[in-house]
Structure 1
Amino acid sequence: MFKDYGAKDATDLAGLVASGEVDADALLDTALAAMERLNPKLNAVVLVQEEAARAAIRRGLPEGPFRGVPFLLKDLGCEAMDFPSHNGSRLFANTRYALDSAIWDRIRATGVVAFARTTAPEGGVGPATESAVYGGPTRNPWDLSRTPGGSSGGAGAAVAAGIVPAAHGSDGGGSVRIPASSCGLFGFKATRARFPDGPYSGEGWAGMAIDGFLTRSVRDAAAFHDACAGADLGAPYWAPPLGAGHIAAIRRPPRRLRVALCDTTLDGRPIHPDCAAAVHDAARLLESLGHHVEPARPAADIGGMMRAWTDIVACGTALSIRAKCAARGHPLEPGEVENVALGAIDRAAAVSGADYLAAVGRIHAFGRELSAFFDPWDILLTATLAEPPAMIGRFAHTDRDFVHFRTGPGMVFDYSPFCAAFNASGQPAASVPLFWNGEGLPIGVHLATRFGADEELMALCAELESARPWAGLRPPLTV
């Protein structure tokens, strides 16, 4: 195993490849060895394609910022001809693709060496990763009895444990930021439509879903975002153009910002004391850096947004299952999907076309409500989750009542009441690993800003990382 592999970020490893100190094959050997040792306990990495990775090295890797660095693709989206996918579901197991997606084209151009996929819950639904197609739950390297989050839970577990320094994820309701919080990583959700969705879709979940990355460092995320930003040909809409880019932005501190501190949920309910403590700790750090922090929270219809989000995702889940069954020529069979997916089909059947459009309208109205909050404020500071990482099994896909799974007492929205708001509004948001509780579990803090202001938010995250470096904090189960 290459020395100090697990302690280095992707930028460091790429520098070693560029200098000739190590080659891509040796790094891939190291990543595979780490996977062999750690994955039996984590169940995070699946569908290994070592020969595809070796062939990419033999052909000659692109001269991108991460040339030669081992990498993993989420087992949901990021369609790639060399990487079959289960899409988190027995129904979609071993799906192969005739074309590469635009996002994979851009990721590949960074020079990474992708060699496998990472686990995801069925349909990308939920804040845990426990899909039946993988034979068991994915576990958190900080505490194997707890979830690494979802839906990019496998990516979070693999990066936190040091199998790879960075991995692809996606975020339709917090699916990058929830694993980042749960695994002590950096996770950034870009402005809506910042990355391409084609050619397999025009948008995900009425524009609420977007690709992303789980990284140890802000600079790695900044470089991935710069490399992958921009619409693909025929995209239905574009994000506001970037300025000089994320890497340029993190090279200098941002201007001093007005930060609204919210230590409750967005609708005023209390959160776990550890999570509230993380918010206040981050507020003190921001104040010490010269930012202005005051208590405030938005006046927006959070409950209405979540009901609309739930109906849109139910319809999206039902559509994908219906399309798969139509393509193969026979209906869904018993056991092919889990109960949450069946519940989504049930819910979608009760949503008319007019209801669906009303839900999209509610999301758009919410985006305007939430954006109005940022007229006097630059940043909204909250916890990423309302509780520490959940125990395995709490969000298993056993509940066929889809609305209850999302919005029932103690269920997904109570656990994760912050992230989806910014999928709905389309605004950029990040989870930053600044706090660990008394049990040694990471507790992420969440920062959100105005639509299109990705670079300023990334610069703020880099300033926080510089003020309180987290790179040396590693889980018990690690390379």
Structure 2
Amino acid sequence: MTTFEEQTTVHAFRDDALGEHDAVGLAEAIRRREVGAAEAARDAVARVRAVEARLNAVEVHMDAPAPDLEAGGVFAGVPTFVKDNTDYRGLPTGHGSVAFAPRAARRHAPFTRQFLSSGVTVLGKTRLPEFGFSPTTEYEDAEPVRNPWGTGHSAGGSSGGSAALVAAGAVPVAHANDGGGSIRIPAACCGLVGLKPTRGRVVANAQSRQLPLDIVGDGIVSRTVRDSAAFLAAAETHWRNPKLPSVGLVEGPSGRRLRIGLMLDSPNGVRTDDAGRAAVMDTAATLERLGHTVQPVQPAIDPRFTEDFLTYWGMLSFLIGVTGRTLGDGFDRRRMDGLSRGLREMYVKKWSSTLGVLRRLKRTREAYAAAFRGLDIVLSPVLAHTTPPIGHLAPTVPFPTLIERILAYVAFTPINNVVGTPSISVPAARVTDDGLPIGVMFSGRPGDERSLLEVAFALEADRPFRRIQDL
């Protein structure tokens, strides 16, 4: 495999139609006819080509289609990508796996239609680790997706391809989804905003809605809070869940003074590293300066939560091994990677515990709700330690070591997936000693994405997020 120096920084920002616009800004420029939508798509393709040899973020390229501006939408004419675990008509859906030959999708997935309703122009599909199981986008026999802030480091996972393209400036936003942190982890690694919505906020993911516990939510990764807010409002315009309060368009900080819980270490006992702790404490000090109240909180989560989530994770790999022939031609579960195989084999030994695991996981919402009594949101790290180098979490690492490393890294995000609550990663003011971004996370009550977006807007306004093009 090709190697890169750890501190190589890669970006595609230049003086072209995309400029330094976020998605809202680019769509406004297209509406004002300052740039053309076809020109924006062409220049995005050129940007992707300029960085792809270094980042390895794209699974499927499309010839830039003619943008459909007649359909309108808040992101009308904005070029983007769909993650390669979601069907886009005419393109294969490979799920990051070599265990089968994917077929071209016959129709758009329901979420794809919701995403397209915002007006975006899709240029292709982004890479993910096999079946989205890993918090890094790496493979056994292929180049990893690399972090544009430092190509020797992980871009996160499982939406690593999307995050790498957005962070590098190739496109303003890209599709991502999150079944255990897969929007928020790559957002944290790549200095982006990543909002996992409340369960049921967007249309259900085609795979997870058939499971006993739906842990997956779809969304985007973006460079600005207003893009994430605009997408959520646009998604509601396409389809709104009547069981949830409407979010509407959040356009900035509110005047409300929030009661914020501060959680520095994971409820599962994993201690956050010094850099992550410092980033969260800096953020807490900023929030207090802005008039909010911050107080310690530690949810009383069942001590078996981590083991239960791991068992459920293994069940998903087992089910793919059983039903994989529906994904494409020639499915061979023996060709699944080391992480997928290890999870499946682990579950086979524990399958009899499935009902108890599901029962306990579903009860997690009670402990989560209890932790929120008297609070509006909770501030925590996204991850227990900062972005690892390529190889640390690769599927070639022996499974016992690999799973130990993953659990020591992904210690905060899965709770929101199990409970179904909204959670957002935003870049912290502090970076690592070698200049990599650090994310901080805000988690909210069910249906309260508004509070998360408002506090994210407040932080962005107080100390604008660091930009890769300024390095």
Q: Under a length normalisation based on structure 1, what TM-score does the superposition of the two structures give?
A: 0.89
Deviates more, 1:340-349 or 1:202-211: 202-211
What is the Cα deviation at residue 204 of structure 1?
Answer: 5.8
For 1:330 and 1:169, the matched residues in 2 are separated by: 27
CA gap of 1:250–1:283, structure 2 versus 1, over 3 A, is: same
Q: Which amino acid aligns with 2:347?
A: A
Partner of 1:338: 337
What is the Cα deviation at residue 257 of structure 1?
Answer: 0.9
For 2:265 and 2:233, the matched residues in 1 are separated by: 33
CA gap of 1:105–1:74, structure 2 versus 1, over 3 A, is: same
Partner of 1:427: 421
**DSSP-derived class of the 2:122 partner:** strand
- The aligned runs of 1:134-213 (5 Å cut-off) are 135-197=142-204, 202-203=209-210, 206-213=213-220
- The one of 440, 443, 460 equivalent to 2:455 is 460
Preserved CA contact (<8 Å) 1:65 1:111: yes
Q: Which amino acid aligns with 1:164?
A: V
Q: Which amino acid aligns with 2:150?
A: D
- Between the aligned residues of both structures, percent identity stands at 31
- The one of 42, 46, 52 equivalent to 1:29 is 42
For 2:203 and 2:194, the matched residues in 1 are separated by: 18
The number of residues matched between the two structures is 457
Preserved CA contact (<8 Å) 2:268 2:411: no
Partner of 1:439: 434
Partner of 1:112: 120
CA gap of 1:42–1:104, structure 2 versus 1, over 3 A, is: same
Partner of 1:363: 361
- The one of 52, 72, 93 equivalent to 2:81 is 72
CA gap of 1:180–1:355, structure 2 versus 1, over 3 A, is: same
What is the Cα deviation at residue 321 of structure 1?
Answer: 3.0
For 2:307 and 2:268, the matched residues in 1 are separated by: 14
What is the Cα deviation at residue 421 of structure 1?
Answer: 1.4
Deviation readout 1:107-155 (Å, 9 max, x if unpaired): 111110111111100010121001347x211100111110010000111
- The aligned runs of 1:268-307 (5 Å cut-off) are 268-301=269-302, 303-307=303-307
For 1:385 and 1:239, the matched residues in 2 are separated by: 33
- The one of 390, 396, 399 equivalent to 1:398 is 396
- The aligned runs of 1:309-328 (5 Å cut-off) are 309-325=309-325
What is the Cα deviation at residue 296 of structure 1?
Answer: 2.3
CA gap of 1:246–1:143, structure 2 versus 1, over 3 A, is: farther
Deviation readout 1:96-117 (Å, 9 max, x if unpaired): 2222111111111111011111
- The aligned runs of 1:252-267 (5 Å cut-off) are 252-253=253-254, 255-267=256-268
Preserved CA contact (<8 Å) 2:194 2:425: yes
Partner of 2:445: 450
Preserved CA contact (<8 Å) 1:155 1:168: yes
CA gap of 1:41–1:116, structure 2 versus 1, over 3 A, is: same
CA gap of 1:275–1:20, structure 2 versus 1, over 3 A, is: same
For 2:81 and 2:19, the matched residues in 1 are separated by: 15
Preserved CA contact (<8 Å) 2:424 2:443: yes
Q: Which amino acid aligns with 2:213?
A: A
Q: Which amino acid aligns with 1:31?
A: A
CA gap of 1:161–1:82, structure 2 versus 1, over 3 A, is: same
What is the Cα deviation at residue 231 of structure 1?
Answer: 10
What is the Cα deviation at residue 346 of structure 1?
Answer: 1.2
Partner of 1:380: 378
1:54 maps to 2:65: yes
CA gap of 1:223–1:444, structure 2 versus 1, over 3 A, is: same
For 1:333 and 1:176, the matched residues in 2 are separated by: 26
Please report the RMSD computed on the Cα atoms of aligned residues, expressed in angstroms.
2.4
Q: Which amino acid aligns with 1:242?
A: P
Q: Under a length normalisation based on structure 2, what TM-score does the superposition of the two structures give?
A: 0.91
**DSSP-derived class of the 2:457 partner:** helix
1:63 maps to 2:63: no
- The one of 18, 24, 40 equivalent to 2:53 is 40
Runs of 5+ unmatched residues, structure 2: 1-13
1:241 maps to 2:244: yes
1:91 maps to 2:99: yes
Deviation readout 1:394-421 (Å, 9 max, x if unpaired): 11112564x7643x2xx11211211111
**DSSP-derived class of the 2:318 partner:** helix
